[in-house]
Amino acid sequence: MTRSYALFLGCYIPSMQPFAEASLRRIAPPLKMKLIDMEGATCCPVPEIVRLADHDAWLYVSARNLALAESLGKDILAVCNGCWETLYEAREAIVNDTQLMNEVNSHLNLLDKTFEGKVKVKHFLEVMVEDIGLESLKKAIKQPLSKLNVAVQYGCKLYKSPDSKFVSYFDSIIESLGVNAIDYGAEKICCGFPLSLYSLDEAMEERAKFKLDKMQSAKVDCMVTACPGCFDVLEKAQLLLKRQGLQYEIPMLSLTELIALSFGFKPQEIGVDKHRVKTKTLITKLGMGGN
Amino acid sequence: MSKDFLNQKVLIYNPEKCSGCYYCMIACSFYHNEEADLEKAYLRVYPQDEEFTGFVNAHCTHCEYPICEAACPTEPKAITKDPNSGFVIIDRMRCIGCKSCNFACPISIPIFEKPFGISNKCNFCDGDPRCAKYCSTGALEVVTRKEAKETEPDE
Amino acid sequence: MSDEEIVLYPWRKKVKTLPESFKNPIMNIIRMGHIPKLAATRERIREELGINRKPPTAYKDPNAQKEVEELVRETDLYDKAKWGTREEEESGR
């Protein structure tokens, strides 16, 4: 059975990490997923900044995104932890408060939009485990990556899911793919994005550098994350710390890329070779160098 | 312990969930001071050790008999416990900036705000603490004191 | 801070602007609906990977960008951020 979702890309995936989008679009057909683009979708908006600066602005803009999905009549597939948090929490707030729903709709109506809470918000991990199922995932694997040692970067928001279930979902997907998740001792630690709002230097030094050091001493082949925010910060950290003479070069993969690789897609097809942090060592290790 | 005291809303912190993102502190300082400054937050998260094996949190527990209130020398007192909500609040108009509360509190929750020349502390955001509301991992939660006591590990 | 306090202690008045680290992202969201700009190099990469050169979001939809601006204009955020609107800027104000 093919399942359709309203695809919510967010900001960082389409603009900074097109390889994550490309790999997601490649793995959708084998997993019997139909992704419907949400034309005109905007930033979710980012919870750490907009919600703090002005709760109303955060709520209205996210309600607009929810309304777009409702007009498509499909549940939202959020590929980003931050987008999931915003859309999920905004939806919960609106659906559980009739007065708030009326207020939000009075603003949306000016744009000829309306949100009545008919669609749900689902995280990519949730869709993979609860809707698609790990069995279907295993069946689609063409190239087991059992040689690969990965460091997992969950991203804070996964712990916020009901009973922190997304954390175990991430683990079970990694397990199903057959790659070795290395225990590097700092999985839970934040990448440093919220701290960078206070001081970028501190975020890089105290969080990102700490994590990268741990990953390096654990000798991982690459790190894998489901959060474009973490991806962006840790990528930026590797490039910035290089200027201080610290060579990390830990290849980074988004979870969709890892899945696409195990489905037999070539790294060049999904853009693994187009990362800002070099991935050559990883591609060599996978034995996928040739075209 | 009075019944009202047990029904009072308090914060609880779950170190198992905390990722040390410090967003609670940023949310706190933004709500109270409109700045993203860790130094201006009324709650604290510290790394447990250099290896970041865990984090420790210090936040106002809005005590039944607040020692900060007892230490406050002004008359009438600048620090009072609200009889209805149970929140221990500093009246900034009455505070003389003597720092007595800073030293009296065993976890140094009231902090001296230099630009204003007075001390300030957590006021529980008038019932809706931003730190717990916006916590990235859900490590900070608002519960009643009775529920909080049930989560205490057995001695 | 209460109104009474502001009258008595004007020097205690808080500064009502956004922290620097908040300004750029918020400005970008209001102007183009997204935080990062879509660089030409990334557009090229997108094309090479076989996905649309412009993502099917507000990046290619000026109408969506306007809608976000309209929504935010009705909130305090617009004043807090203290910048001119696109029209004002274009007219040179």
Summarised one tens digit per residue, pLDDT across range A206-215 is 899 999 999 9
- What's the confidence (pLDDT) of residue A291? 47
Chain C interface test: which of A43, A66, A83 (most C C-beta within 10 Å)? A43
The class that CATH gives domain A3-125 is mainly alpha
Please tell me the distance in Å from C1's CA to the nearest CA on chain B.
9
Domain spanning A140-286: CATH 3.40.50.11810: yes
CB pairs under 8 A between B and C: 22
CA-wise closest residue to A268 among A19, A53, A4: A19
Contact A274/C25, CB-based, under 8 Å? no
Q: Which helix (H) or strand (E) holds B120?
A: strand B118-120
Number of Cβ within 10 Å of residue C4's Cβ equals 9
pLDDT band at C85 (very low <50, low <70, confident <90, very high): very low
Please tell me the distance in Å from B77's CA to the nearest CA on chain A.
33
CA-wise closest residue to C45 among A268, A24, A7, A289: A268
C4, C8, C21 ranked by CB distance to B36: nearest? C21
- What's the confidence (pLDDT) of residue A228? 95
Summarised one tens digit per residue, pLDDT across range A21-62 is 999 999 999 999 999 999 999 999 999 999 999 999 999 999
- What's the confidence (pLDDT) of residue C36? 94
Instruction: Give me the mean pLDDT over the B71-90 stretch.
Output: 94
- What's the confidence (pLDDT) of residue C76? 85
CA distances from C56 to A8, A21, A94 (A): 10, 11, 26
Instruction: Give me the mean pLDDT over the A261-269 stretch.
Output: 94
Chain B interface test: which of A190, A210, A230 (most B C-beta within 10 Å)? A190
How far is the C-alpha of C42 from the C-alpha of A19, rounded, in Å? 10
**Residue-wise DSSP of A203-247:** IIIIIIHHHHHHHHHTT-SEEEES-HHHHHHHHHHHHHHHHTT--
**Contacting subunits of A (3+ beta carbon pairs below 8 A):** B, C
- The answer to whether C43 and C55 have CB atoms below 8 angstroms apart is no
The class that CATH gives domain B61-121 is alpha beta
**Share above pLDDT 70 across residues of chain C, in percent, rounded to a whole number:** 70
Summarised one tens digit per residue, pLDDT across range C37-73 is 999 999 999 999 999 999 999 999 999 999 999 999 8
**Residue-wise DSSP of A130-164:** III-HHHHHHT-SS--TT-EEEEE--GGGGGSGGG
C88 pLDDT above the threshold of 80: no
- The answer to whether A200 and A237 have CB atoms below 8 angstroms apart is no
**C3 in B contact zone (CB under 8 Å):** no
Q: At A180, which amino acid appears?
A: N
What φ, ψ does residue B13 adopt, rounded to 5°?
Answer: -125, 130
**C1 in B contact zone (CB under 8 Å):** yes
Summarised one tens digit per residue, pLDDT across range A93-128 is 999 999 999 999 999 999 999 999 999 999 999 999
pLDDT band at A238 (very low <50, low <70, confident <90, very high): very high
- What's the confidence (pLDDT) of residue C4? 67
CA angle A278, A279, A281 (to 5 degrees): 110
CA distances from A215 to A181, A229, B88, B123, C35 (A): 11, 18, 44, 40, 29
- The answer to whether A127 and A235 have CB atoms below 8 angstroms apart is no
Of residues A82 and B116, more confidently modeled = A82
B30, B35, B116 ranked by CB distance to C12: nearest? B116
- What's the confidence (pLDDT) of residue C77? 87
Secondary structure of A35-75 in HEC code, one letter for each residue: EEECCCECCCCCHHHHHHHCHHHHHHHHHHHHHHHHHHCCC
pLDDT band at C12 (very low <50, low <70, confident <90, very high): low
Summarised one tens digit per residue, pLDDT across range B18-75 is 999 999 999 999 998 888 889 999 999 999 998 888 999 999 999 999 999 999 999 9
Q: Which helix (H) or strand (E) holds A3?
A: strand A3-8
Instruction: Give me the mean pLDDT over the B90-94 stretch.
Output: 90
pLDDT band at C93 (very low <50, low <70, confident <90, very high): very low
CA-wise closest residue to C28 among A13, A195, A276, A49: A49
Contact B51/A188, CB-based, under 8 Å? no
How far is the C-alpha of A62 from the C-alpha of A121, rounded, in Å? 12
- What's the confidence (pLDDT) of residue A15? 95
List, by residue range, all CATH 3.30.70.20 domains of chain B. 1-59+126-147, 61-121
- Break chain A into its structural domains and give their ranges: 3-125, 140-286
- What's the confidence (pLDDT) of residue C14? 52
Domain spanning B1-59+126-147: CATH 3.30.70.20: yes
Chain A interface test: which of C24, C31, C34, C66 (most A C-beta within 10 Å)? C34
Instruction: Give me the mean pLDDT over the B97-108 stretch.
Output: 94
Q: Give A3's strand partners.
A: A33
